[in-house]
Amino acid sequence: MSARLIDGKAVAAEIRTRIAGEVASFLARTGKVPHLAAVLVGDDPASAVYVRNKQTACEKAGLKSTLHRLSVTTTTEQLLELIAQLNADPDTHGILVQLPLPAQIDSQHVLDAVTPLKDVDCFHAENVGLMVQGRPRFLPCTPSGCQQLLIHAAVETAGKHAVVLGRSEIVGKPMAMLLVQKGQAADATVTICHSRTQNLAEIVKQADIIIAAIGKPQFVTANMVKPGATVIDVGINRVGDKLVGDVDFDAVKEIAGAITPVPGGVGPMTIAMLLQNTLRAAQIQVGASQT
């Protein structure tokens, strides 16, 4: 029997509709429109598509979105100058620096320069620290999107063994932190697997919940999945003219109890959570200015 499909596109549409209502209420109350500034350096085609999708989602939900496009030859200092301007602009509530940045730019320095109150990607050390302590200002977009999918699919997580494949700062580490917290779609026993993990397949096979964010196309095969497990596929890889995840979807869906597709799974949720964070940033900043 095939796994139940967790439709991220449908869940994201519900969340965006709710956010649109909250944005309208915020505008009526404050006269302010939540404003996201996206910074795109260079001409990477995939990054351009991602930024365009984020802008479109903002506009549909009633948020303002401004794109700052910079040359591929931009220096760290030039980018930091723009970040400083956006930090100081009271009408810019969220700042998104699209990754990856060109090799000559010190990415960590740039991400650290974004003020924590406008860090809607939740990359700043202050926001990461608050999240780890269980008192988040913002939640990281992709991991919190995965968590929302678990909630909407009514997946039991308390006391379950969750295996996170990948230890990146963007997905793997924060995903593990969210799952191990107390609360909804959390309270799990979490194992992080990575490129140095021994007996990786055997560990993954023990999982009740698999979060695949390893960046390798169709890495998770059917023989690595326990029957009935929930599989959340964060990966997006281009193989020929197809987009595939980190999970061998066609084979794994015959073993898993529930699974996300690629595309149409985690991707739309990441954008929905970005909108949520931008609204939250505006609420924090406008609230602070009105007290």
Catalytic residue among 32, 55, 98, 218: 98
The pair phi, psi for residue 46, each rounded to 5°, is: -65, -40
pLDDT tens digits, 11-64: 999 999 999 999 999 999 999 999 999 999 998 888 888 999 999 999 999 999
The pair phi, psi for residue 64, each rounded to 5°, is: -90, 140
Catalytic residue among 54, 64, 118, 253: 54
Q: How far apart are CA 69 and CA 85, in angstroms?
A: 15
Sequence-ordered list of residues with C-beta below 8 angstroms from that of 83, at least 6 positions apart, any chain: 39, 95, 97, 110, 113, 114
173 labelled catalytic: no
Whole-number pLDDT of residue 290: 60
Whole-number pLDDT of residue 291: 45
98 labelled catalytic: yes
pLDDT tens digits, 205-248: 999 999 999 999 999 999 999 999 999 999 999 999 999 999 99
Please report the domains of the chain, with CATH numbers, ordered by start residue.
Answer: 30-116 (3.40.50.10860), 141-267 (3.40.50.720)
Q: How many CB atoms lie within 10 A of CB 75?
A: 14
Catalytic residue among 64, 118, 121, 148: 121
Whole-number pLDDT of residue 223: 97
Alpha helices in the chain (DSSP H): 8-30, 45-60, 76-88, 107-113, 125-132, 141-152, 172-180, 200-205, 249-252, 266-289
121 labelled catalytic: yes
Q: Model pTM?
A: 0.95
